[in-house]
Structure formats: structure tokens, C-alpha cells
Amino acid sequence: MICSKAPGKIILFGEHFVVKGLPGIGMAVSSYAKACVEESDKNTVLSKQLGLVYDEAGGVGFGSGFEVIFKLIASMGCSKRARAYIDSSIFMGSGMGSSAASSVALIHALMRFCGLDPSKEVVSRIAFEAEKAVHGKPSGIDNTLATYGGLLYYRSGVFERIDIKWPEEYSLLVVNTGIHRETGVVVKEVLDLYERRREVLEHIYRAAEELVNQALAMLRRGDFENLGELMNINQGLLYTVNVSCPKCEEIIWLLRRNKALGVKLSGAGRGGIIIALYRKKDLEGVRQLLKEESLVVSLDEQGVLSIS
Ligand code: MEV
């Protein structure tokens, strides 16, 4: 079998404010979707977590990202059919980019299986088309991070890699609130609030921009001790635009009381995931305090990779 893996992601700074053209920082993290493919008489995708998610013969998963992927790869001259298996440790439906990571891993494995060159540019472009089938209007950050890995500063659809080494002493704790929210609905409510309270919120948005600029400078000089404080401020701004939630705040304050350097929600909010920056040595015992599932991750620098 031919296998590839691709990382999930978190948004370190700037979600929601990016929707109005301000900058954000996204980060590929060391939690992966793996895809393996082998020859078959029809195209199918079996997910270890979700079961059969696509079958070209059986009507399962039509109109999904998988159908787009198989069609685009066939249009590049691949006439072989494949049975694909996906296994992912990325929290699903939580803003960690699990669908983009699965797509990217699958595209990379399928292209190798078909004897095509899986250049990152092509993999990311096909994954973006698959994301559009699933999410309607994706920003492109998920497929870009799953493909290239790393930390990305982005603004209005332009992505710029922030080349840093993630220091050994620090980790991110990712907690799944288990609350599912529709990104589109939350984004619209924030935009409506902005229109109603423009004179107030303009200042909040300006603060969000300055925050991302300072975070970028801190990341570049490796000042992780102070970065946490900016995460706390970012959370305050997200609370102000009404995208936190009672359970989010419970988790955030539990972690803040237990040595986190900084804690915020990541993504659309009202649920989804909470991220906390920790000195590795302070993480011991913290996960046992949580009722929710959690992951300890760091920066993934490589993006999609062959694993066999
Ligand atoms: C969702 O992961 C991030 C938002 O900023 C929406 C977006 O950027 O498309 C809330």
C-alpha cells in the first residue's frame, strides 16, 4: 500500500478579525490524518473513525470532497481505481482542519499510486477544490497548512511562511469542547455585531491587528514566555465579539489557573477547540484535570509526507 500523512492546524492569532482583512497566524500541528491506497476495481474511501465515506458505485459520499479528488486526479491521466483508507487523530468538526488534512494525505498518496508527481502546489490546489465542495467558501488556510506545514502569517488570502524553530521546552495543549458550531453562522453574527457597534468595534479590530503584529515579532525572536499573554488578550477580544461560550471559559480558566502561559479558543468559537501554551514541564497532570479529550502538539514543519 502507498501511504501519506498530513497535519491538522490551529489558529494561533486573529480568527474572525481576518474576515475583515486583518492579519492572522495559523500553525500546522503534530496531529495527523493518514491515507493509504491500494488498487481496486472501484474508488472507495473507508475512514477508521467514520466508516465508509465514499463509494463510487454505491452512492455514498457523492458531492463530497472525495468525489472531487478522484475526478481531478483522473483528469490528470490516472485511469487506475483505488481503495483508500483514512485514519486521523485530528479532532473532527472542531476547526482543526481535519477534512483538509484527510484530503491532502489522500491526494498525495493517490498521485504517487498513479505515478504522478505530487508537487505541493498541485496537492494544495486539488485539496482547495475539495474543501470548496465541503465548506463552500474556505479561506485556503487549512489546505495550505496541511500541505506545506509550518507557521503562516496570512492576510486577505495571501500566505507568508514564518520561519522559526519551535523551542523544545514548549507545547500546545489542544482541548476539544465537543461543542459543534457552524462557522458560517458564527462569522455572520460577528459581522452583524460589527455593523451594529462599528464605532466601538473598530477599536477592537485595530487592537487585533496590533496584537498579531506583536505576536509575529515575538515568534521571530523566540519569546514564548510573553506570547501567552498575547493569547490571553486575543481571547479577551474574541469574548468581546461574543464568540466564547460558558464551557470554553470553564476550560480556559481551569488551564489559566494551572500554569498555562496563555489560553484562547481557536477557530470560529462558541465551542470547537481551546488551545493553551505550556512549558512542557508544567503540563504534567494537567490533562487529568479535564473531562474533555485533549492532545499535546507542537509545530509540524514539513506538511504532507510519504510514510511508506
Ligand atoms: C474559522 O476557522 C476561522 C474564522 O476566522 C473564519 C475564517 O477565517 O474563514 C472564524
Are 116 and 180 in the same domain? no
For residue 186, give the ligand 1 atom closest to its CA.
10
**Is the distance from the beta carbon of residue 191 to the nearest atom of ligand 1 less than 6 Å?**
no
Range of the domain at 25: 2-163
Note whether residue 15 is domain-resident: yes
Q: Is the pLDDT of residue 308 over 80?
A: no
Evaluate if residue 284 carries a pLDDT over 80: yes
Report whether residue 19 contacts ligand 1, using a CB cutoff of 6 Å.
yes
What does pLDDT average to over the chain? 96
CA atoms of 43 and 66, how far apart (whole Å): 10
Q: How confident is the model at residue 136 (pLDDT cuts 50, 70, 90)?
A: confident
User: How much distance in Å is there from the Cα of 167 to the middle of ligand 1?
Assistant: 27
Question: 173 Cβ partners below 8 Å, 6+ apart?
Answer: 255, 260, 275, 276, 278, 283, 286, 287, 294, 295, 296
Domain boundary among the residues 124, 147, 163 is at 163
Q: Whose CA is nearest to atom 2 of ligand 1?
A: 267
Give the start-end residues of each E strand in 107-205.
151-155, 158-162, 170-176
158/188 same-domain check: no
Q: Measured from the CB, is residue 18 less than 6 Å from ligand 1?
A: yes
Confidence (pLDDT) at 127: 97
Kindly state if the Cβ of 266 falls inside 6 Å of ligand 1: no
Give me the torsion for CA of 266, 272, 274, 275, rounded to 10°. Answer: -50
What is the position in ligand 1's atom list of the atom closest to the CA of 141?
8
pLDDT band with cut points at 50, 70 and 90 for residue 31: very high
* Ligand 1 atom nearest 142 alpha carbon: 2
Task: Let me know if residue 302 belongs to a domain.
Answer: no
Residue 251, pLDDT score: 98
Of 112, 144, 163, the residue at which a domain comes to its end is 163
For residue 86, give the CATH number of its domain: 3.30.230.10
CB of residue 15 inside a 6 A radius of ligand 1: yes
| Average pLDDT of span 55-77 | 91
Q: Rounded CA gap, 304 and 121, in Å?
A: 11
* Confidence label for 137 from pLDDT (cuts 50, 70 and 90): confident
Is the confidence at residue 213, as pLDDT, over 80?
yes
Task: For ligand 1, atom 10, name the residue with the nearest CA.
Answer: 268
Over residues 97-102, the mean pLDDT reads: 96
Q: Are residues 31 and 159 in the same domain?
A: yes
Pocket test of ligand 1: the residue of 10, 16, 152, 266 to mutate, having most ligand atoms within 8 Å of its CB, is 16
CB of 16 shorter than 6 A to ligand 1? yes
Q: Clarify whether residues 205 and 284 are in a common domain.
A: yes
CA of 281 to the centre of ligand 1 (A): 32
307 falls within a domain: no
Residues taking part in catalysis: 142
Q: Look at the chain and report how many structural domains it folds into.
A: 2
Q: Identify whether residues 222 and 81 lie together within a single domain.
A: no
Q: Are residues 57 and 199 in the same domain?
A: no
Confidence of residue 134 (pLDDT cuts 50, 70, 90): confident
Name the domain boundary from 107, 139, 163.
163
